[in-house]
Structure formats: C-alpha cells, structure tokens
Amino acid sequence: MQNAECLFCRIIRREVPGEFVYEDNEVLAFKDIYPLAPVHLLVVPRIHIQSLNEAAPEHEKLLGQMLLVAKRLAAEFGVAETGYRLVTNMGSDGGQVVGHLHFHLLGGKALGTKIG
C-alpha cells in the first residue's frame, strides 16, 4: 500500500521523476537529487512504511531484500571494494526528511569515521 502524499510513493508511481538504478517487485533504488557523495543512492520499499520504527515482523524478508539490493548496487557502482556507508534516518531528530523508509547508500570518496 502506498501513501498518496508521500514523495517517495509518488516517485515509485512515476508521478515525480527519478533516476532509477534498480527495480524489482519489492524494492526500488534511485539517485538522490542532493548527493552527499559521488555515489548517493536511495533504496526504498515499494510499500509505504514510515520508518524502521514502523516495520513489523511481516516485513522481515523485505528488509533483507533492501540490504541485499544495497550490497548489489555498491558492487555495481564500484564502491564495494573501497567502502561505503548505508544509513537510515528515523524521525526529525534522526534527520529523516521523507517519511518513507529508505536506506542511503553513500560512497565514492573517503567518508571518515564521523557520522554527523
């Protein structure tokens, strides 16, 4: 199920443009429009889940699929060997801007050890 107002749901439905790099029946990935690294991809589920806090036991397979897609994309975009960061933000204090579960895959440069 999708949310009519959610930006990522609108991107998934192709109502808002996105530069897609991966797609299957459960997961979609596209380039971030404000990249923080040379490789900055967003890995999102097709169904609307607000954040990891709202994930339920029935989403276990989907969450695993998202992680495996991120791993695959890291290899395809040439950052698996040198290293990359996979991040999800939850809530306003956690830096979540779009209320749809997503993983940021960041790489292509030395990211350092600090997160904030």
Give dist(CA 45, CA 103) in Å, integer. 10
Hey, how many other C-beta atoms are within 10 angstroms of the C-beta on 79? 21
Q: Point out which residues pair with 84 in neighbouring strands.
A: 107
Is 48 tagged catalytic?
no
Q: Which of 40, 100, 102, 104 is catalytic?
A: 102
Q: What are 47's two structure tokens?
A: 């169904």
Contact 21, 41 (CB under 8 A): yes
Which residues have C-beta within 8 Å of that of residue 6, sequence separation ≥ 6?
Answer: 48, 98, 99, 100
Active centre residues (catalytic) = 102
